[in-house]
Amino acid sequence: METKLLCTLMFFLIGFTVCDAVIKRQVLAGGTGNEKPVDAKIEQMFQNPKITDAASAKIQAKSGSNTVPSNLTPLSYKTQVVAGTNYYVKVRAVIGYETQIWLIKIWEQAWRNFLEVTDVKGPQQESDEIMAF
């Protein structure tokens, strides 16, 4: 009887330990990395008219402005691994006579040579932390 009880307790203890480890790992999966300064890869993205035109159009639509944003200058970014990589890029955009800070979400699937602006968020403060959206 004691052996059976001891085996049952050990089974539950091991089960809870494994479940706890799995739950802790799931919380981290899909999270964003640390904010990084702009590097050559991000600069290259923002030299691509497909990216800058799509980002400008989405910023214009969300801001309600009649003016197309120009001079999108990347400042910093975070990444998130999904079915590819999401890049959350903080940019400085000139809209008319005003300079605003926006976040641009870019989805990349490098193995397919696929790059797309999926969303924008703003305006923000330059000091605001980049958060996934």
What are the sequence ranges of the domains in the chain?
1-30, 36-124
Q: What is the pLDDT of residues 15-70, one digit of tens each?
A: 444 444 434 434 345 789 999 999 999 999 999 999 999 999 999 999 999 999 99
Residue-level pLDDT at 13:
47
For the chain, counts of helices (H) and of strands (E): 3, 5
Q: What is the pLDDT of residues 66-90, one digit of tens each?
A: 999 999 999 999 999 999 999 999 9
Structure tokens that stand for 130 in this block: 């980049």
The band of 1, judged by pLDDT with boundaries at 50, 70 and 90, is low
Check whether domain 36-124 has CATH 3.60.21.10, yes or no: no
Which DSSP category does 32 fall into?
A: B
